Copies of this chain bind each other. A is one copy, B any other.
Amino acid sequence: MQTRPEPADDRPRGRRPGPSVTRDAIAAAAAEVFAQQGYDRATIRAIATQAGVDTRLVTHWFGSKQELFVQVMRLPVSPEELGRRLSAGEPAHAGERIAAYVLGLMDDEAVRQRVVGLLRSAASEPRAADLLRGAVTRTILGPVGALVGGDDAQLRASLAASQMVGLLLARYVVRVEPLASAPVADLVPLVGPVLQRYLDG
């Protein structure tokens, strides 16, 4: 586990964390609690208990529950990385590159847990939906909208995002078969051209 320097003057005065109890450990505990309980039911106290630290250490590092959610439940894609993937290689195969990239990220257990927790919270709780909407708009609609042209670029970008969200929900949350068990290599040639259709308009 990666350790980071402890806060200096303003660090909490309560129970002192051991050296391995770091910001990363709190973030991991928060991701787990949010994924299991959803945004509304999760509490700073439950996250602190899960991490084995005082609640003040959680608020010290992350501020409010909303700020904590935004930081630990973020999309596993950055706008920069998405833009790079979209523009690296043949424009006609950008859809396939995106499908392969996103599905590949989900092979990582921690990423999958975070995304499933994010979808669960956003589907069931308006405040978490607000946060996901903001993240999708900033992270996906920006780079995709910049790449694709036309008056309806933002609409097509949001439809491409809806296909990826629906795919992740059907495959990893609702687990509709045969989609849930299909290898990524079988999905990319089917989903890629669909994303491409949205990109091309």
Partner among B136, B152, B176, B194 whose Cβ is within 8 Å of the Cβ of A136:
B176
Partner among B120, B132, B165 whose Cβ is within 8 Å of the Cβ of A124:
B120
B173 touches A162 (CB 8 A): no
Which of A4-12, A15-23, A106-114, A185-193 forms contacts with chain B?
A185-193
Query: Complex: how many Å from CA A55 to CA B164?
Result: 42
Partner among B119, B155, B194, B201 whose Cβ is within 8 Å of the Cβ of A186:
B155
Q: What distance in Å separates the Cβ of A19 from its nearest Cβ neighbour in chain B?
A: 36
Partner among B119, B152, B194 whose Cβ is within 8 Å of the Cβ of A197:
B194
Query: Complex: how many Å from CA A158 to CA B177?
Result: 7
Query: Complex: how many Å from CA A191 to CA B38?
Result: 31
Query: Complex: how many Å from CA A119 to CA B165?
Result: 13
Whether A173 contacts B137 in the complex (CB less than 8 A), given A190-B159, A193-B197, comes out as no
Q: What distance in Å separates the Cβ of A161 from its nearest Cβ neighbour in chain B?
A: 7
Residue A29, interface by CB 8 Å? no
Whether A163 contacts B161 in the complex (CB less than 8 A), given A129-B173, A133-B174, A197-B197, comes out as no
Query: Contacts of A198 on B, CB cut-off 8 Å?
Result: 190, 194
Partner among B122, B169, B197 whose Cβ is within 8 Å of the Cβ of A165:
B169
B178 touches A155 (CB 8 A): yes
Query: Complex: how many Å from CA A194 to CA B182?
Result: 20
Partner among B120, B158, B178, B187 whose Cβ is within 8 Å of the Cβ of A170:
B158
Residue A154, interface by CB 8 Å? yes
Query: Contacts of A159 on B, CB cut-off 8 Å?
Result: 167, 179, 187, 190-191, 194
B176 touches A123 (CB 8 A): no
- Closest 6 A-B residue pairs measured CB to CB? A166-B166, A123-B123, A162-B170, A124-B124, A158-B179, A162-B166
